[in-house]
A and B are shown apart, each in its own frame.
Chain A
């Protein structure tokens, strides 16, 4: 997939407005969600890589869908877009090119993690 990486990676990984809303909710909600991301996202990413390695389109769709939901919680737009692209490939049973998108998604997920780490 061509998302014009050079321009996109300059964008902000997470949505500041959503982060502020989560912070304003209080009850340690933002911190809890950040901790969840740091624990869950690598596991979700590995599940996706494993499914892709097996060529299991249904499992690819499921794992990518989960990552898309994870990204949405923080308004991580590019991560969400990349995950959706892989989810669509899984749904269509057409996994060609998914590995390249996975590499982009992995890098973006790391960028999101770094942005969230800075909030702690």
Chain B
């Protein structure tokens, strides 16, 4: 079973994402409340997939975008799903052009994660996760 890391400051969002990723067949290896904490866990856990909230209060001087770029640089094969409460087109384009697997807008449900499932299947046709 592939592992996943959830980075989101909202415990409610983390619970919802956990639910969706579990349905997709992922094992949740860790959860983080800040980009900095998430980056540390990413380096330690080396998950197959990460969900990263865009709008989190910046702590320890690391923004979500900086954490994203570090992840893409260090382990490019890890899939990063960006989640955001606001559908800013420019932000969406930035993350997708720099290699995010998908950009999911909150509030999300089964349909929001369907694009994630489809993209994962295209990457690895024989298994969902």
Contact = CB atoms under 8 A, between A and B. Distances in A.
Interface of A: 18, 21-22, 25, 27, 29, 32-33, 36-37, 40, 61-62, 65-66, 68-70, 72-73, 75
B19 A73 contact: no
Contacts, number: 49
Interface of A is mostly: helix
Nearest to A65: B57
23 contacts: A18-B109, A21-B109, A22-B109, A25-B110, A29-B15, A29-B19, A33-B15, A36-B11, A40-B12, A65-B9, A66-B9, A66-B10, A69-B9, A69-B10, A69-B12, A69-B13, A70-B10, A70-B12, A72-B10, A72-B106, A72-B107, A73-B12, A75-B107
A66 B109 CA distance: 20
A107 to B, nearest CB: 21
Nearest to A64: B57
A41 to B, nearest CB: 10
**Which one of A22, A25, A66, A69 has the greatest number of beta carbons of chain B within 10 Å?**
A69
B85 A69 contact: yes
Interface of B: 9-13, 15-16, 19, 55, 57, 85, 106-107, 109-110
B105 to A, nearest CB: 11
A102 B85 CA distance: 22
Given A65-B57, A69-B85, A72-B85, A40 B11 contact: yes
Contacts of A36: 11-12, 15
B53 to A, nearest CB: 9
Contacts of B13: 69, 72-73
B10 A25 contact: no
Contacts of B12: 33, 36-37, 40, 69-70, 72-73
Contact of B57 (A32, A62, A75): A62
Nearest to A67: B10
Nearest to A32: B15
Contacts of A37: 12
Contacts of A66: 9-10
A32 B12 CA distance: 10
